[in-house]
Chains A and B, each alone.
Chain A
Amino acid sequence: MVVKKIDNDKCNGCKICVDACPMDVIRFNEESNKAVIKYAKDCICCYNCEEDCPVGAVYVDPMRDPRVPAAW
């Protein structure tokens, strides 16, 4: 769920998605030169990363995990 996938074959190491995340979910692995999903539990599905990725490597699922308690 949440930010589900960063396609390693597509990722060009530009770090745009790392900057774009308002929850510090995505980090950068200097060794592999790829972005990695590190704290998916904090993803709020804002879609910034997928929207900004210049090579279409990111996929965001719209459901948060863990789910937020609904008002009712």
Chain B
Amino acid sequence: MAEKRLKTDVLVIGGGLAGCFTAVTAREAGAEVILVEKNYCGKTGNSHFARDYMLFKEEWGDNFEEWMSQFDMIGEHIVDKKWAEIILRESYPRFRDLVNWGIPFYLKEDSPNVKREVHYGLVDIPDKIGFPAPEEEPFRYAFRQTKYRKHGRTCKYGERHKMMIARRRVLKSGATIIDRVMLTDLIKKDGRVIGAAGFHTVTGDFYFIEANAIVIATGSLSFRGPAFGTQFNAGDGMIMGYRIGAELTGMEFGNGMYVVRDCESVVINGPVSEIGKTRDEIVNGLGEDFLGTIPHIPVNILWPIEVHKGNGPIYHEAYNIDREKFKGALDKYNKTAEGPWITMLDRAGLDIFKDRFQQYVGVRASSKGSGLRVNTSCETNIPGLYAVGDASGTNYSGPTYVALGSGMAGACITGYRAGINAAKFARESNQLEASPEEIASLKKTVMNPLERKSGFQPDHVLMRVQQSILPYEVRIVMHGKRLEAAITMFEFFRDHFVPKLQASDSHELRNAHEVRSMVTGGEIMLRTALFRTESRGWFFREDYPRRDDKNWLKWVMVKQDEQGKMKLWTEDVPKEWQGDLSLPYEERYPLQYGYGEE
């Protein structure tokens, strides 16, 4: 196995949309750029499987104050408003960039710029674009317009090849792309990050790349669970940042996706309404419509609470749709970025339009706006280290997901900001070199599992990690005692499995490093969740079922201290962002003021 050594101004780790945007921006700002992707850039990243891009534009009649107040209410008063404002105001310019790249958004007939604009709850989607007319609508929309969720606009991407367009744009800019190389460890000198080490997942070659600035674009922290299009996100970048002292924020918050139990590769967010007219389609194990019983809770929490009461499982009642009549529409639905799930369901022998079928909320791991804590230049606390997209901790979304499509907009916006700033940083700083001893030590860390003749297989550790964190009672309906029990397991994985991970080939070496990240990431998520002794948004603690405005208008921060210990602390949400504290509880949290029996 060979050893490759490369040098560049800006190193981008991760080739989803945020990484591509960073690479193009930094390159065009004059920096030499290498983008490294553990898969094939253009066929991966959450963006490859995503469909919505949030758009805000005052010229179209969007009211800034109203949107912000909606963000604030849904994000339950711990939204970083500085970032929320950036994401609103820069969504349109970055959208224009994507259009200029040639990314295929659907066009609406009367709009020259945007192929299809979809407002939440607005169902006048032209039939020719791929969705049936409203009176024939076999699908329902999540994030339906409600009394409380009034504002929103997303633009829909076309099919999955959009990321190949981004790849071509990166190459056109003059940046270099290295596919199938997984970087796993960063190195610092004089407090600054100066390089990253990893390996080629096919050839097994060792890679060391020196760079003046490094941008983490590796997405969220997932546990290879059922949540579609996130399974390759093992938190690689967040955790390698954490290991050199970078701060993380928002890690206690999680996200969920609705998974079809007997066809786990299908996530149906579309047909299931969060709150709204379609709730009669969902019943509990007793056949009861339970969504009406506690009207103010989002499904992400309400379903698990219903199951927790012993009333599960949760069924989706059939629509009784005439498939033949909608054949054309279904074929078109099959071609969206979320995947050909009509075909998948057919192959699983399920007809969701006739059969009653079970669904559950799959843990999607770290939330939007959770990750490496960044300032508005996307810098972390480590000089030279930047974070973008789902790997960046901006806290714009609080303990929920404030706006459909804001993740994709955020990827482009953070990518753009990081690209400019990383290029500038790289230009203004001297290159520092790692010593041969330091590189040798990094190589040992990276390649060790491959050299071990015996030890623990990554598959075994992955199975134990999943069993310990994916069940609803651990990370959805939480309780201090259960979190502590899970932490005990993660400590064991950390101390016993990780030091003796063994990989039989370069593919398994990737799995070994992914579970290494998951074990640390899982411990961070569990400890931060235990630390926040209240409930807020989708974050629900059975033992602390109410918001605690007195003590918890705060963000939880975490980092590894000099002794290698996990250190947790809080940062206050600025007073002016806390909302009106004199309001009664039900008015302050109108969307979701209760979690059931309290």
Contact = CB atoms under 8 A, between A and B. Distances in A.
Given A44-B231, A72-B307, A22 B39 contact: yes
Interface of B: 39-40, 42-44, 48-49, 160, 179-180, 201-202, 224-226, 228-229, 231-232, 259, 261, 263-266, 304, 307, 312-313, 339-340, 344-345, 347-348, 360-363, 459, 463, 466-467, 470-472, 476, 507, 510-511
A45 B347 CA distance: 12
Contacts, number: 106
Please classify how large the interface on chain A is, using the bins under 10, 10 to 19, 20 to 34, 35 or more.
Answer: 20 to 34
A42 B458 CA distance: 11
Nearest to B511: A42
Contact of A72 (B42, B263, B312): B312
Given A62-B265, A63-B348, A19 B360 contact: no
16 contacts: A19-B40, A22-B48, A24-B180, A27-B202, A41-B459, A46-B231, A62-B264, A62-B344, A63-B264, A66-B463, A68-B264, A70-B259, A70-B362, A70-B470, A71-B470, A72-B472
Interface string A18-40: 01111110010000000000110
A24 B344 contact: no
Contacts of A21: 39-40, 43
A71 B479 CA distance: 16
Contacts of B202: 24, 27
Interface of A: 19-24, 27, 38-39, 41-42, 44-48, 51-52, 61-64, 66-72
Contacts of A39: 507
B339 A69 contact: no
A44 to B, nearest CB: 4
Contact of B225 (A24, A41, A51, A68): A68
A63 B348 CA distance: 8
A72 B466 contact: no
B304 A71 contact: yes
Given A61-B347, A68-B224, A22 B44 contact: yes
Given A62-B266, A69-B225, 17 more contacts: A20-B43, A22-B40, A22-B43, A22-B48, A23-B39, A24-B180, A24-B510, A46-B231, A46-B339, A47-B339, A62-B264, A64-B265, A67-B264, A69-B471, A71-B259, A72-B312, A72-B360
Contacts of A48: 43, 160
A68 B463 CA distance: 8
Given A24-B202, A62-B345, A70 B261 contact: yes
B307 A47 contact: no
B263 A62 contact: yes
Contact of B507 (A24, A70, A72): A24
Contacts of A64: 264-265
Contacts of B231: 22-23, 44, 46
A24 to B, nearest CB: 5
Contacts of A62: 263-266, 344-345, 347-348
A19 B167 CA distance: 13
B39 A46 contact: no
B348 A68 contact: no
Contacts of B313: 72
A47 B267 CA distance: 13
Contacts of A24: 39, 180, 201-202, 507, 510
Contacts of A47: 265, 339-340, 344
Nearest to B307: A72
Contacts of B228: 46
